[in-house]
Amino acid sequence: MSDIAVVDYGAGNTRSVRAALAHLGATSVVTSDPSLIKGSTQVVLPGVGSARSAMEHLHATGAAKAIRERFDDGGPILGICLGMQLALDTSEEDGGVEGLGLLSGSVYRMSEGRVPRLGWAQVDPWGETYYFAHSYAAQSNDSVATSDGVTVAIERGSFLGVQFHPEKSAAAGLAFLEQCLSRA
């Protein structure tokens, strides 16, 4: 079995995530197979796509249930961008979508500054600069980091979600992914 299951939800740029993981010497497989999602050492829920079609895909394949069970068992899960947002209860995207509800909170459309929020920005209190590309953002009591006042990382139990794209954040992003892989 591969070290890492990158969850396939029908859209999403899984290739870049896999390339970054390969760079770190980790083998990964793109899958929506519930047994792989439950059994892999690590699970990555990648970004890019629309919330509604992502959730429909996750439910249709049984991946949603497998992610929930993995979370309840304490298996590590990394959510990236949309993959972070899907872990919350609800999203305003696509006229309102129910998420996985692993963490409590919601996703709202940003209105301050230029939207989409595109580019490199510092994440506090971590102090590193990563690449962002998003129009929606999380609101959650499980916020652990912000950027320009926006929640950009949420964590509860074995789930860590980040709004930025570590796979697109050059050396800083690879270092972040390397740290994530070492989470047991």
Partner 1 sequence: MPLARLIPCLDVAHGRVVKGVNFVGLRDVGDPVELAKHYSDGGADELVFLDIAATPDDVATMTSVVAQVADVLEIPFTVGGGVRSTEDAIRIIESGADRVSLNSAALADPGLITAIASRYGSQAVVVAIDAGDGVVHTHGGRVATATKTIPWAVEAAARGAGEILLTSIAHDGRREGFDLALTAAVRDAVAIPVIASGGAGSAAHVAAALRIADAALVASIVHENPSGLPGLRDEIEALGIQLRPMKERS
- Interface contacts to partner 1, rule CB under 8 A: 11, 13, 15-16, 19-20, 22-23, 48-50, 53, 82, 113-121, 128-129, 131-135, 148, 165, 167-175
User: Dihedral through CA 25, CA 128, CA 77, CA 153, nearest 10?
Assistant: -170
Q: Name the minimum Å distance from CB 179 to partner 1.
A: 11
Q: Name the minimum Å distance from CB 141 to partner 1.
A: 26
Exposed / middle / buried, residue 20 (Cβ in 10 Å: 0-12, 13-18, 19+): buried
3-state SS assignment for residue 56: helix
Q: Name the minimum Å distance from CB 2 to partner 1.
A: 17
Q: Measured from the CB atom, is 127 or 184 closer to partner 1?
A: 127
Q: Measured from the CB atom, is 49 or 75 closer to partner 1?
A: 49
Q: How far is CA 6 from CA 3, 25, 48, 145, 156, in A?
A: 10, 15, 13, 24, 20
Annotated catalytic sites, by residue?
81, 165, 167
3-state SS assignment for residue 93: helix
Q: Name the minimum Å distance from CB 137 to partner 1.
A: 13
The conformation of residue 157, written as its DSSP 8-state character, comes to T
* Single-letter amino acid, residue 170: A
Q: Measured from the CB atom, is 66 or 181 closer to partner 1?
A: 181
Q: Within its chain, how far is the Cα of 9 from the centroid?
A: 12
CA-closest candidate to residue 58, choices 71, 48, 68: 68
Q: Measured from the CB atom, is 60 or 118 closer to partner 1?
A: 118
